[in-house]
Amino acid sequence: MNEFTLSLLWYLIIGVCVIFYVALDGFDLGVGIMNFFTKKDQERRIFLNSIGPVWDGNEVWLVIVGGALFAGFPDVYATLFSGFYNLCMILLAGLIFRAVAIEFRSKRESKKWRLIWDAIFSFSSLFIAFGLGLVLGNLMDGIPLNDDKDFVGSFAMVFRPFPILIGIFTVSLLMVHGSVYLAMKTEGVLHNRLRVWAKRCMWVFVGIFVFTSVITWIQAPQLVIRFKEEPFFLIVPILALLAILNVPRMFARNWDGWAFLSSCASIVLLFCVFGIGTFPYLVRSSIKPEANSLSFFNASASALTLKVLLIIVGIGIPLVLAYGTMIYRIFRGKVKIDKTSY
Amino acid sequence: MDVVMLSRIQFALTSGFHYIYPPLSIGIGLMLVLFEGIYIKTKNPLYKRITKFWVKIFALTFALGVATGLVQLFGFGTNWARYSRFVGDVFGSALGAEGVFAFFLEAGFLGVMLFGWDKVSAGMHYFATICVAAGSHFSAVWIVVANSWMQTPQGHQVVGEGNASKAIVTDFWAMVFNPSSIDRLVHVVLGCWLAGIFFILSVSAYYMLKKKHLEFSKATMKLGLGMAAIVLLLQLWSADSTSRGVAVNQPSKLAAMEGVFNTEEATPLTLIGWVDEKNQKTKGIQVPGLLSFLVHRDFTTPVTGFDQIPKDERPPIGIVFQSFHIMIAMWGLMALVTIAALYLWKKRRIAKTKWVLWFLIVSVGFPQIANQVGWMTAEIGRQPWIVYGLLKTTHGVSPTIVSSQVVMSICMFIIIYVLLFALFIFLLNHKIQHGPEDEDEAVLQPEDPLYRNLKKATGRESR
């Protein structure tokens, strides 16, 4: 395999890892955000325990994405992490505080105690979801990179209207994803209520989806060139929309598992849209886009390193998937609260 | 302070805090293999209880290691972007191998080890335990390989000019087996084993002092003391080999470690002392010619001093000298407590001798301090280089960040780490107070089989 093919393959592998991360950690972040909408302690415990056994495994995908970027695209890793320094620190704080909140929340009966940790859990989930969306929005819109491929913008610059819109888009998407997951994991009255919430979230999301599409079409021409050249690609965003609209249909048939898969499919398709719009760039530069952007072929590691990595991944990913499947099989079914729960 | 110094402080803080946990996982991992091996061999249920208890502690240290490791993953990119671009190609394969082979071997089989007691056969469970322990060791292998490449780079080619220069791997195995890899790996792993062994000794001594779980603590104490004696001896051999490697490959670091200013015949070894940088002299208790002997195996050949190293390539001598000597002092304390405890063990007086039990309880700190100052010696001793001879630390920092940002993030990390450390102590204390199960645990409930056990094992019991 030549260097070009190897880089392309590695670009796709990272794409798949990002999708795994968002589809998996996405629902537990969504559960965290949905935690804002209930006040009853029992319900909050059900929420927490629905993600209890799996959330830390889901976060491992973030480690994989970070490691894969460092290994396969060191320039992208260096540019993004140093360019978004403050955002990275906030995300890190969010990730750790969230983990601590999950761990500590149910350790004491005190109402105040639980309220504080619940607030930390919900707000950190919201910040992480929004922050991830903000990063994606910046990558779509392009950021100023100099000839050394270093970010030359300010922190305030990260918060431009378009990335903020993508941040909101991500939050609403993960709210759908989280509430569908919760509906799948609950029973009785709460289950019915969550279905209603999931549908409401879905309609909010559909509204934001349409709005974002229009704005992108007008404001971000670089993202729509490929769709204009090859209108066939438009089927991908349409399928993403249909997949999410499929959720209430599956609910009506009592197929909650399929509703969740629909929501997963929608995430996969939305990343395909992202990929079609931004390819071949990983980080698009708003200064001299042709020369300063980081693409899969100018930012990749050497062919030898990519080859070594490919062998490692070839052995590793099947192991990860087998392990993940086992954990999800063990913990399938509705949440039950007992004395060993969170 | 400038961005470089602040970023160095931040990295020292985050990696130092991270490095409390992996040595514990590695050391306890080794002991788990031994404990469960004895159980498999003798079928003595006591060793099953011992293994079960320490598996829980292992899971806790592993979880903290992962959480703090996440910060490390971010840290290279956020503060050391230039360095990340430079080493990415080399680090990539090493860290990738770590992530997959080590981390997943560990995380994957941890599940079986934690809640598979009644689900899989005894042999299969032992296999899982071996995999987890091997995984934690592999993790050390790849991290130390990557770091050793920074000390003694090999198997690469530097391409590009100025800010665009980077190291490209040309020979993967030459990179992996660079001149310092094996020495440093052995030294690091032995240090990790000591961390685990003395942790187990400390908890055993605590139980003896409280007169609780006596049968349990005697068994772990016995094996722990035996292992401590062996590993301390091995560490002595490894330390000699590692230092002589440093003398050959990184003379500036060795000069700083031993406080050698002038290259002279029969170079003395300073046992205890301080460095007077103004007068370019190291004062203290010195043995003439001993350093020459340790490095060259004869008492006269001179050891390279600072006078032969260009001024702008000298590491800070005072802190490296003291870190190195504190590490050796910690070895001495560990040896002392081990000899005392072994003697009292032979005399069958250990459980009644309070001072030695207290000495053992605090000894949990000695290997931890030794590991911390050992890494300080290695990393500060490499200065002013971030990659020895190839890239200066001042050129490795992210060009996009400013001091105020780093000050803010350092404050944030301090808050987070205080919180995490409190969480660790809280959960650890809970487990130690709860102690090992006194009889063989009941068979799992059919309605919530694995769930309950996993929860128990990872310490997420609700109150």
Closest to A323 (Cβ–Cβ): which among B104, B163, B170? B104
- Identify the closest residue of chain A to B420 by CA–CA distance: A100
Q: Between residues 137 and 166 of chain A, which touch chain B (CB distance below 8 Å)? A: 148-152
Task: Give me B60's structure tokens.
Answer: 């806790």
pLDDT band of B5, cuts 50, 70, 90: very high
Distance CA B82, CA B59 (A): 36
Spatial distance between the Cα atoms of A291 and A303, rounded to a whole number of angstroms: 22
Mean pLDDT of B166-187: 89
Q: Do A97 and B416 touch (CB under 8 A)?
A: yes
pLDDT reported for residue A132: 93
Q: Is the pLDDT reported for residue B243 higher than 60?
A: yes
Inform me whether the C-beta atom of residue A85 falls under 8 Å from chain B C-beta atoms: yes
Helices B181-209 and B365-380: crossing angle in degrees, nearest 10, is 160
B71 and A92: CB-CB below 8 Å? yes
Contact status, residue B252 vs residue B314, Cβ threshold 8 Å: yes
Residues B6-13, mean pLDDT to the nearest whole number? 94
Q: Give residue A310's pLDDT.
A: 85
Interchain contact A312–B (C-beta under 8 A): yes
**Of the candidates B322, B330, B374, B427, which has an alpha carbon nearest to the alpha carbon of residue B19?**
B374
Indicate if B91 and B202 belong to the same structural domain: no
Report chain A residues whose CB lies below 8 A from the CB of B405.
Answer: 85-86
Domain-located, residue B177: no
Of B77, B455, B463, the CB nearest to A70: B77
Long-range contacts of B282-288 (CB under 8 A, 24+ apart): B282/B258, B282/B321
Q: Which of A28-42, B12-26, B74-88 is modeled with the greatest confidence?
A: B12-26
Domain housing B433 = 1-164+420-455
Confidence at residue A208, expressed as pLDDT on a 0 to 100 scale: 94
Residue A337: what pLDDT?
67
Residue among B93, B111, B448 whose CB faces A309 most closely = B93
Average pLDDT over residues B87-98: 80
> Is residue B56 in a domain?
yes
Domains identified in chain B, total number: 2
Model's pTM, two decimal places? 0.85
H or E segment and range at residue B274 = strand B269-276
Phi, psi (degrees; rounded to nearest 5) at B154: -165, 155
Considering only CB atoms, B84 lies closest to which of A77, A304, A320, namely A77
> Which among A319, A329, A303 is positioned nearest to A3, based on CA atoms?
A303
Q: Considering the domain boundaries, does residue B399 fall inside one?
A: no
Based on the domain organization, do B279 and B377 belong to the same domain?
yes
* Cβ distance of B70 and A341 shorter than 8 Å: no
Quick one: closest CA in A to B450, which residue? Answer: A330
Counting residues of chain B whose pLDDT is more than 90, the rounded percentage is: 38
- Of B356, B381, B406, the position where a domain reaches its end is B381
On whether residue B407 sits in a domain, the answer given is no
Q: Is A323 on the interface with B (CB under 8 A)?
A: yes
The answer to whether the Cβ–Cβ distance between A304 and B416 falls below 8 Å is no
Q: Which residues in chain B are contacts of A56 at CB distance < 8 A?
A: 63, 66
Ordered domains of chain A (ranges, CATH)? 3-330 (1.20.1630.10)
- Sort out which chain B residues have CB atoms less than 8 A from A143's CB and list them: none
Domain assignment present for residue B227? The answer is: yes
- How much is the CA Rg of chain A, to the nearest whole Å? 20
Q: Which of B360, B381, B402 is the last residue of a domain?
A: B381
Same structural domain, B109 and B9? yes
pLDDT, averaged across chain B:
86
Give me the pLDDT at residue A327, please.
67
Asked whether the beta carbons of residue B462 and residue A312 sit closer than 8 angstroms, the reply is no
* Residues A320, A323, A327, A332, Cα dihedral to 10°: 90
Are both B158 and B227 inside the same structural domain? no
Is A163:A171 a contact under the CB 8 Å cutoff?
A: no
Query: Are residues B116 and B55 part of one domain?
Result: yes
- The answer, yes or no, to whether residue B457 has pLDDT greater than 70, is no
> Quick check: A101 contacting B, CB < 8 Å?
no
Q: What is the pLDDT of residue A341?
A: 63
**Test mutation, B18, B60, B62, B70, chain A, max A CBs within 10 A:** B70
Q: Are residues B87 and B198 in the same domain?
A: no
Task: Note whether B12 and B147 are same-domain residues.
Answer: yes
Q: CB distance from B174 to chain A under 8 Å?
A: no
Residues 6+ apart with CB under 8 A from B229: B338, B342
Q: Are residues B274 and B228 in the same domain?
A: yes
Instruction: Chain B: give the shortest CA distance to residue A19, in Å.
Output: 18
Phi, psi of A40 (to 5 degrees): -75, 135
Residue B291 C-alpha from the chain's centroid: 26
- Percent helix, strand and coil across chain B, each rounded to 5? 70, 5, 20
B409-455 pLDDT, tens per residue?
Answer: 999 999 989 988 988 898 898 888 888 875 444 433 434 444 444 45
> Is B401 domain-assigned?
no
Q: What is the pLDDT of residue A55?
A: 77
HSE at residue B422, side-chain half, CA atoms within 13 A, is 10
Residues of chain A with pLDDT under 70: 327, 330-331, 333, 336-342
- ipTM of the assembly? 0.82
Interface test with A, best of B21, B62, B73 (most A CBs within 10 A): B73
**pLDDT cut 70: percent of chain B above it:** 93
Of the candidates A307, A291, A76, A297, the residue with the CA atom closest to the CA atom of residue B85: A76
- Same domain for B202 and B147: no
Question: In chain A, which residue's Cα lies nearest the Cα of B92?
Answer: A71
Q: Is the pLDDT of residue B307 over 70?
A: yes
C-alpha closest to that of A284 among A96, A121, A83:
A83
Residues B38 and B115 in one domain: yes
Beta strands in chain A (DSSP E): 281-283, 294-295
What's the pLDDT at A340? 53
Domain co-membership, B152 together with B277: no
pLDDT of residue A56: 74
Instruction: Report how far apart, in Å, the C-alpha atoms of A178 and of each of A35, A48, A50, A125, A183 are.
Output: 10, 12, 10, 11, 9
Q: Residue B360's pLDDT is what?
A: 93
Cα-based distances in Å from B69 to A27, B64, B172, B265? 23, 8, 25, 46
Q: Is residue B388 part of a domain?
A: no
Residue B431, chain A, CB below 8 Å: the answer is no
B-chain residues near A77 (CB < 8 A): 76-77, 84, 88
Instruction: Please report the pLDDT score of residue B442 as a whole number.
Output: 40
Of B381, B406, B436, which residue constitutes the final position of a domain?
Answer: B381
Residues B213, B268 within the same domain: yes
For residue range B319-334, list pLDDT tens digits in order: 999 999 999 999 999 9
A326 and chain B in contact, CB less than 8 A: yes
Amino acid identity, position B148: S
Q: Flag whether pLDDT at B463 surpasses 50.
A: no
What pLDDT score was predicted for residue A163? 92
Q: B103 pLDDT band (50/70/90 cuts)?
A: low
The residues, any chain, with a CB within 8 Å of residue A157's CB and separated by 6 or more, are A143, A144
Mind telling me how many Å the CA of A135 is from chain B's nearest CA? Answer: 15
Give the tokens for residue B17: 């805090």
Q: A103 vs B419: CB contact, 8 Å cut-off?
A: no
Q: Which amino acid is at B28?
A: I
User: Which run of H or of E encompasses B167?
Assistant: strand B166-169
Tell me the per-residue pLDDT of A209-238, one tens digit each, with 9 for 90 and over.
999 999 998 888 888 888 888 889 899 999
Whether B226 is covered by a domain: the verdict is yes
Q: Name which of B78, B104, B455 is nearest A319 (Cβ-Cβ).
A: B104
* A113 and B CB contact within 8 Å: no
The stretch B262-280 carries a mean pLDDT of: 83
